[in-house]
């Protein structure tokens, strides 16, 4: 387990500014509740559970910074952790960059964690931090795939059959999660340099030509994307309560 006794200091940026279109109509995804508590609060608690994380920067929906500040004030969070809230942007990439702009000096390890992955276990968070502290410039937690994957020629009309182009060797593929962990300077350089639209921060570091390594992810770090994921997330919380003896 990590601790703060080493000179290295770790901050986490939590992009939480997405609408959650795939989840269906309603409040911005991070503000929707799981067992009565906003998803964002679950995600903040999951990151702040690591004793190595001393600052959490929450990137709120563009017009929701005041609401997010009130939510953080209204929920019990570890006193050892500082919190900042900034408004987000139109894409995940822009939201992460706005979070990085707000990072004060003195943090050399930076995690980027989706608010939409509210149940990541602290051991996964600590494993990512440890790998960065051990010298990796970019670390991603990931899992082997459960399904065979096909590369296709995407249909021009939804529902049309799609020709298969290839079947990539599954043993070499990983499904990537968050938190992704970075040496701060490398992540800042990636966000300053890469302008392509990408879906994760590690791929920006790859584009710099810097090495990225994978550590084991966790099933419970899944992303809440579609309505069925809400059912799964609440089932995981119910199982945890049972295991904790509540
Ligand atoms: N403009 C955006 C878009 C996404 N995110 C965040 O990036 C994370 C991963 O994005 P995803 O799960 O794809 O969320 P949404 O963009 O909200 O989902 P959808 O595509 O269904 O709208 C989420 O925590 C989301 O809040 C963000 O901070 N700013
Ligand atoms: C960052 C991420 O969670 C890694 O799996 C993912 O890439 C986010 O992608 P999305 O396109 O915003 O769902």
Encode pLDDT of 123-151 as tens digits: 999 999 999 999 999 999 999 999 999 99
pLDDT, tens digit, for every residue of 47-89?
Answer: 999 999 999 999 999 999 999 999 999 999 999 999 999 999 9
Which sequence spans correspond to the domains of the chain? Answer: 10-142+175-243
Please state the rounded mean pLDDT for residues 25-51. Answer: 97
Q: What is the DSSP string of 3-14?
A: -TTSS--EEEEE
Q: Counting atoms of ligand 2 from 1, which one is nearest the CA of 112?
A: 1
- b/e for 35-62, b at 16 or more Cβ within 10 A? eeebbbbbbbbbbbbbbbbbbbbbbbbe
Ligand at minimal distance from the CA of 15 is 1
Backbone angles phi, psi at 8, to 5 degrees: -65, 135
Per-residue pLDDT tens over the stretch 184-218: 999 999 999 999 999 999 999 999 999 999 999 99
Give 112's DSSP letter.
E
Q: Please say if the pLDDT value at position 92 is more than 90.
A: yes
Query: Is CATH 3.40.50.300 the right assignment for the domain spanning 10-142+175-243?
Result: no
SS3 of residue 124 by DSSP: helix
* Predicted pLDDT at 81: 96
Contact 99, 107 (CB under 8 A): no
Q: Is 201 in the pocket of ligand 2 (CB under 6 A)?
A: no
pLDDT computed for residue 187 by the predictor: 98
What pLDDT was estimated at residue 244? 86
- How much is the pTM? 0.95
Ligand 1: centre distance to CA 28 (Å): 9
Q: What is the average per-residue pLDDT within 2-30?
A: 87
Look at residue 135 in the predicted model and tell me its pLDDT.
97
**Once rounded to an integer, what is the mean pLDDT over residues 87-104?**
97
Question: Rounded to the nearest whole angstrom, what is the distance from the C-alpha of residue 90 to the centroid of ligand 2?
Answer: 15
Q: Which DSSP helix (H) or strand (E) runs through 82?
A: strand 82-87
> Looking at residue 246, what is its pLDDT?
56
**Cα 224 to Cα 117: distance, rounded to the nearest angstrom:** 6
Query: Which pLDDT value is given to residue 3?
Result: 47
Catalogue the E-assigned strands of 157-220: 164-166, 174-176, 180-183, 213-216
Alpha carbon of 179 to ligand 2 centroid (Å) = 11
* Residue 165 tokens, joined: 């182009």
Confidence band for 8, pLDDT divided at 50, 70 and 90:
confident
The ipTM of this complex is 0.97
């Amino acid at each position: 387990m990590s601790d703060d006794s080493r000179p290295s200091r770790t901050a986490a940026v939590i992009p939480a500014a997405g609408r959650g279109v795939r989840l269906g109509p309603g409040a911005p995804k991070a503000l929707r509740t799981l067992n009565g508590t906003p998803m964002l609060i679950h995600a903040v608690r999951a990151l702040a559970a690591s004793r190595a994380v001393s600052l959490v920067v929450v990137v709120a929906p563009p017009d929701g910074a005041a609401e997010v500040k009130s939510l953080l004030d209204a929920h019990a969070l570890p006193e050892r952790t500082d919190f900042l809230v900034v408004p987000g942007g139109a894409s995940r990439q822009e939201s992460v960059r706005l979070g990085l702009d707000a990072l004060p000096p003195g943090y050399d390890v930076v995690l980027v964690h989706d608010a939409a992955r509210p149940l990541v276990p602290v051991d996964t968070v600590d494993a990512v931090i440890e790998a960065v502290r051990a010298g990796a410039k970019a670390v991603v937690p990931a899992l082997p795939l459960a399904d065979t994957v096909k590369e296709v020629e995407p249909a021009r009309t939804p529902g049309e059959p799609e020709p298969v182009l290839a079947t990539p060797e599954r043993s070499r593929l990983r499904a990537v999660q968050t938190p992704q962990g970075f040496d701060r300077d490398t992540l800042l350089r990636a966000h300053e340099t890469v302008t392509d639209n990408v879906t994760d921060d590690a791929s920006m570091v790859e584009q710099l030509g810097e090495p990225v390594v994978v550590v084991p992810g966790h099933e419970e770090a899944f992303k809440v994307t579609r309505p069925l994921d809400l059912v799964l997330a609440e089932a995981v919380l119910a199982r945890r309560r049972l295991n904790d003896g509540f």
